[in-house]
Amino acid sequence: MTFIYDEPSRTFSEYLLIPNETRKECVPSNVKLRTPLVRHRSGEEAALYLNIPFTSAIMQAVSNDTLAIALARSGGVSFVFGSQSIEAQTAMVRRVKNYKAGFVTSAANLRPDQTLQDAVALMKATGHSTFPITHDGSSHGKLLGILTGRDFRPHKTDLTTPIQNVMTPFAKLVYGYEGQTLSEANEIIWSHKLNCLPIINENHELRHLVFRKDYDEHMENPDELVDDDKRLVVGAGINSRDYKDRVPALLEAGADVLCVDSSDGFSAWQADTIRFIKAEYGDTVHVGAGNVVEEQGFRYLADAGADFIKVGIGPGSICITREQKGIGRGQATAVVDVARARNQYFDETGVYIPICSDGGIHHDYHIVLALAMGADFVMLGRYFARFDESPGRRLWVRGTIMKEYWGEGSNRARNWERYDLGEGGGLTFEEGVDAYVPYAGRLKDNVALTVEKVKSTMCNCGALSIADLHQTARLTLVSATSIREGGAHDVMLKESDIRTDTYGV
């Protein structure tokens, strides 16, 4: 007999939070949103954490290198979309890892016998204005000097001049030694009023560069998510087709965490992908999986070795899987059910596997609802597609500034690997649409506002951490009438006062 669930599947909009006592210590500045990203044993720290519980969707319209940089600087992580060539995806990952690092490996170097014309060409190619001059032009050659954009004027200096004639020679450089801490390096930068400090070893070979701007920018982004080498953390999406080639390339590029991108994670192909990665690399490589909507799917991926599990089939604003195939589940019910399975798994094994609520977020408070229902973090597509840093073009549509937003199952993306059932052959019908979302400006400004709302709501719930919220949150179902009652009603709004945090059109 076909199994039929007794309870209807519900969405986040069908629930509200019931306040708990707001104690005097329950103020937003005391709320900590740090949350584990990957599996770990009871009593142990996870290998990776998020400083805010936000990840960006594995989509062409969302997660490129510019979005990944902006989100990591705010405390979350992006999964660079995998529906592109291996070369293109790894190039994006490298740009994120090289963007900001307390100790930067120099990627643009010159020899002293090269000319200023070579320096100008390198400036145009890289956008950099500071170049270490090493004996062989390599990243770790013997340091002979530094050339910056202030050392010459391209339009007035003879560009055939050898670099060694205008560079600041080694004898006049201020430098640090390998083994010094980042704090020590920054102290040298400040005391000598430098913009860049080269770090050398005992043989005067260049090891790293430390930039003043990185210190300034870090002070402006206290939640910045970085690895042990102070480089931004970045994830990458993979599929269950070319993973044997894509995974090693992404790891070589510096990806910190991977995630199998699939509309349905309860599949043998996804299990094979995870088992291959774990057999090849062990626990040193972290890979998430999904998507699932109930206990069996969670158990299946947990047993395969998934480090986190994504929840949600069809709740995204851009997704039409439910319309096309009749498969899915209301996101609130799916999160509750999978969280219950996660807790049972933890009780049985002592292993905690974080779950990610992927999709169905229409308002900022839905993020708190997802966390209250048991999610450790959320994955957002439409939310991030609205920002300057996302890949979509900014356009005027019917008198409003919009950003392009298209689904991975749309004809535009044609990411057939995400929906493949083992036979290949491309995308035979659409499971996503091509649309617009209202333009919202910079990621940093919008995320900061959303984080403040999340923290404020958690204070009303008497929770100072996501773990507290899991234990103490109280939820109530709402009627259609009470949903209407919760918004502005029975008044005429002034146009300038109308604001919304819904992210669709």
Q: What angle do CA 396, 401, 406 make, to 5 degrees?
A: 85
Closest by CA to 486, choosing from 372, 380, 365, is 365
Task: Assign 77 to helix, strand or coil.
Answer: strand
Closest listed residue to residue 157, CA positions, set 118, 124, 116: 116
* 319: annotated active-site residue: yes
Question: Which member of 207, 299, 329, 418 is catalytic?
Answer: 418
Active site residue 418: yes
Q: What is the DSSP letter of 9?
A: P
Distance (Å, whole) CA 114 – CA 134: 11
Collapse the DSSP code of 477 into the 3-class scheme (helix H, G, I; strand E, B; otherwise coil) and give the result.
strand
Q: What HEC string does 101-150 produce?
A: ECCECCCCCECCCCEHHHHHHHHHHHCCCEEEEECCCCCCCEEEEEEECC
Please state the φ and ψ torsions of residue 297, each to the nearest 5 degrees.
-65, -40
Alpha helices (H) in 432-478, listed in sequence order: 443-460, 466-472
Closest alpha carbon to 392 in 306, 497, 293, 318: 318
DSSP calls for 79-90 = EE--SS-HHHHH
* Partners of 55 in the β-ladder: 77, 379
Overall size of the chain counted in residues: 505
The H or E element containing residue 211 is strand 206-211
Residue 247 φ then ψ, to 5°: -60, -50
User: Cα torsion at 131, 137, 143, 144 (round to 10°)?
Assistant: -80
- DSSP calls for 233-289: P-EEEE-SSSHHHHHHHHHHHT-SEEEE--S---SHHHHHHHHHHHHHHGGGS-EEE
CA angle 12, 13, 14 (to 5 degrees): 90
- Exactly one of 319, 356, 459, 461 is catalytic; name it: 319
Question: What is each CA distance from 97 to 69, 250, 441, in whole angstroms?
Answer: 9, 12, 24
Catalytic annotation, residues: 319, 418
